[in-house]
Amino acid sequence: MAKKPSISTKTKSAPVVLTPRDKKTLSNITQLADGVVKAAAARRDPYVDIPSRTLANVHYSARKRILEMGNGKNRRQLFDLSQAKAYMRTMLVGSGCKKLIDQGKSTSLRGLFYMLKHTIEGSKENTFDEQGECDTIIEDVEVLLDSIREELHLYAENRGAMVGAITFTDKGDEINCARMGSGGYAIPSICEPDVIEFDPKKCKAKFILHVEKGTVWQRFNEDRFWEKHNCILTHGSGQPPRGVRRMLYRLHNELKLPLYCVLDNDPWGYYIYSVIKQGSINLAFESQRMAIPEAKYLGLRSIDYDRCELSDSVKIALNDTDRKRAKQVAKYPWFEKKAPWQREIKKMLDNDFKLEVESLISKDISYVTEVYVPERLEAQDWLD
């Protein structure tokens, strides 16, 4: 408590320089607030129209081969019992972001959650009880202001890692991804050009291999796969966060590196591939900056159980949600018209079991790095 005033005096003493992007974001936030004042003065019910982040408002652009957000909007009114709280939270997030921009600082999603969390005067109710509640509102504000998280001075926890034959600068520091030891370079949640700068001359890698989980990534890193095959090796701790997706997008587009994915053979793995390739429903507004339609699906395939002669013990039976999910995935427009994908999904349903990448270890510890992936790459055997 005692420290608080000293911090505020500090910020006062050092005036913050706003970037043009900051100025644009600030004016957007101010417009939002002005709308409330105007409505109140006119005795009208204040509202905001938030572009809808639902499946119904997302369409697949066959031309661009990415998911795009439609024009559908959800009206959020202050004087509606079911929306009043969400409306209040939207304004809170707006004011929190303004504070961050004014002070030239950024914070984590959790940090903003704590910044805005307090007990509402005259009640025992909290503005936010869980971080999840705050995170969805932040996403709302992103689409509402047409500003991405980075522009709101927010970042998520770092997740995902990379190693490989590439050197770039991160906030001025040179990062040599070939010298990252066993841990790898932690992919930051903000991978914008003003933070991370690539130099095509310093990239020797020929492709990117993205794996699903850190454990599999460890295997590849320990076997120095990227060295042998001259590539970049990444993982996204399951569903890749925005930072990882943005990093992959930029590597793919700016350095012209093809992307291959090694994911589990289950509906979840298919979905991760789908998000990397086409974008997610929830973040459809960011597809343009993140989706990589050229990404290839290397494995694991439903045919791998037979093809690699795996033992019975590695099978994991599908459950009802898996089956349901698989059928949903099969219906996605970008999978629907691709016969190989339909065969792939049908085969998994016929198998009635799923396979994790780690199951290949039952053959040999380094089977996946020394046999499986090189063979697939050699044979150009992948799904698109």
Judged by CB under 8 A, which stretch of 34-42, 254-262, 332-340, 350-358 contacts another protein?
Answer: 34-42
Using rule CB under 8 A, residue 115 touches another protein: no
- Report whether the peptide linkage leading into residue 300 is cis, meaning its omega lies within 30 degrees of zero: yes
Please give the C-alpha separations between residue 195 and each of 191, 198, 242, in angstroms, as whole numbers.
Answer: 6, 10, 15
Q: Which of 114, 155, 249, 305 is catalytic?
A: 114
Least distance CB 20 / another protein (angstroms): 20
Q: Alpha-carbon distance 252 to 246, whole Å?
A: 10
Q: Alpha-carbon distance 250 to 208, whole Å?
A: 12
Which stretch of DSSP H or E encloses residue 50?
strand 47-51
Tokens 């018209």 belong to residue: 337
Cα atoms in the 13 Å half-sphere on the side-chain side of 262: 27
Please select the residue that binds another protein; options are 21, 57, 61, 88, rule is CB under 8 A: 88
Using rule CB under 8 A, residue 99 touches another protein: yes
Least distance CB 159 / another protein (angstroms): 30
Contact 93, 137 (CB under 8 A): yes
Tokens 């490989």 belong to residue: 164
Taking the least distance from each CB to another protein, the nearer of 7 and 40 is 40
Please select the residue that binds another protein; options are 123, 182, 313, 380, rule is CB under 8 A: 123
Please select the residue that binds another protein; options are 91, 141, 154, 248, rule is CB under 8 A: 91
Least distance CB 27 / another protein (angstroms): 10
Task: Please spell the DSSP secondary structure of 319-340, one letter per residue.
Answer: -HHHHHHHHHHHHSHHHHT-HH
Please select the residue that binds another protein; options are 8, 16, 23, 40, rule is CB under 8 A: 40
Least distance CB 32 / another protein (angstroms): 7
Judged by CB under 8 A, which stretch of 122-130, 147-155, 174-182, 308-316 contacts another protein?
Answer: 122-130
Residues in the chain: 384
Least distance CB 111 / another protein (angstroms): 17
* Pairing verdict, β 154-155 and 107-108: parallel
Taking the least distance from each CB to another protein, the nearer of 36 and 383 is 36
Task: Please spell the DSSP secondary structure of 197-218, one letter per residue.
Answer: EEEEEEE---EEEEESSHHHHH
Using rule CB under 8 A, residue 124 touches another protein: no
- 114 annotated active-site: yes
Please give the C-alpha separations between residue 124 and each of 118, 120, 209, 337, in angstroms, as whole numbers.
Answer: 10, 7, 51, 54
Taking the least distance from each CB to another protein, the nearer of 36 and 303 is 36
Judged by CB under 8 A, which stretch of 32-40, 65-73, 104-112, 150-158 contacts another protein?
Answer: 32-40
Please select the residue that binds another protein; options are 10, 34, 204, 230, rule is CB under 8 A: 34
Q: Alpha-carbon distance 257 to 247, whole Å?
A: 12
Active site residues per annotation:
114
Per CB under 8 A, residues contacting another protein are 29-30, 32-34, 36-37, 39-41, 43-46, 78-79, 81, 84-85, 87-88, 91-92, 94-95, 98-99, 120-123, 125, 127
